Amino acid sequence: MRVDRHARLGVRGWLRKAVTVVAAAVLVSSVGGAVAGAAPMGGATDLLVPSSMGPIKVQVQWAARGGSSALYVLDGLRAPSDHSQWTSDTDALRQFAGDNVTLVFPVGGRSSFYTDWYRASSTNRQPVTYKWETFLTKELPAFLAGYGVSRTNNAIVGASMGGNAALTLAAHHRDQFKFAGSFSGFVHPTFPLWNEAMRAAMWDEGNFNVDDMWGPVSDSAWKRNDATEQAELLRGLPLYLWTGNGAPGPLDIPNGVGNTINAMGLEAMALAAAQMFRDRAAALGINARIDFVSGTHTWPYWQQALANARPMILDALGAR
């Protein structure tokens, strides 16, 4: 009886040890995958990323050879809720298909300026408060780390609304972004009366209230989210700004006359802002590539701007 009892105890002890070892192995594997997992190699997928705003869809094209660097690509003011316009209105996916960098397209955030708002918009019954800076610089990088994407070796670009955001996010998070690009961005929102232009645009796109975003224009949040005012923080960072002169060209024809006229006016505003950023950067001795070319405020030109920026992005990230 004693032998049998010892044998049973030995078996039980062995089973407990085995279960403990297996559980530990699973835990290590799980944690390792979340912290430093191997990056997928090529292909595209849609992710659902937890955030304080609720689950956020993110479209991803993985680095062709499993590299860890990433390019965050921000939408314009009319960002759809189901996809990034970069994936539907440009050839961005094809441009980087053979490159060793992961493309990251956050979905949604129309009229958000990709910033942390003071409160939910009070004029359209917005159910949650926008917290896009928090998402793009904390929640999303932490989630992507589980797929082997670096938290520190990233680039960021954006068009229109996303252009100023790309520069200001890079300015305030230099540990995360190694390159920033703005295409037709409104990069000087504190310039007199620009807040009213933003108010009108945000009201037109979803009845959003600019006062709930950054408060009155005298509030420090406006200056903090103004790329021209924050230019000093961009010193030493590779920068590319592209802005059209508002003159229509062949790329405007498919969009129709009405859209072209609107795009001409918007681009004239973007041009004025880019010129002010250029002058501010020059006064500070900050290097930036700034292209002023023929074109309007529309996607075919931003597709070309991204192609222009691509070599700079790959070099900044060491992703060739």
Q: Which residues are catalytic?
A: 160, 267, 297
- In what side-by-side order are the strands of the sheet with 70-74? 44-49, 56-61, 102-106, 70-74, 154-159, 177-183, 239-244, 289-293
Q: How many CB atoms are located within 10 Å of the residue 78 CB?
A: 14
Integer Cα distance of 61 and 107 in angstroms: 14
Closest CA to 179 of 188, 170, 191: 170
* 275 three-class SS: helix
Q: Are 198 and 226 in contact (CB under 8 A)?
A: no
- With residue 24 as reference, give the H or E element that holds it: helix 2-36
Integer Cα distance of 68 and 49 in angstroms: 18
Distances (CA, A) of 105 to 61, 70, 136, 211: 9, 10, 11, 27
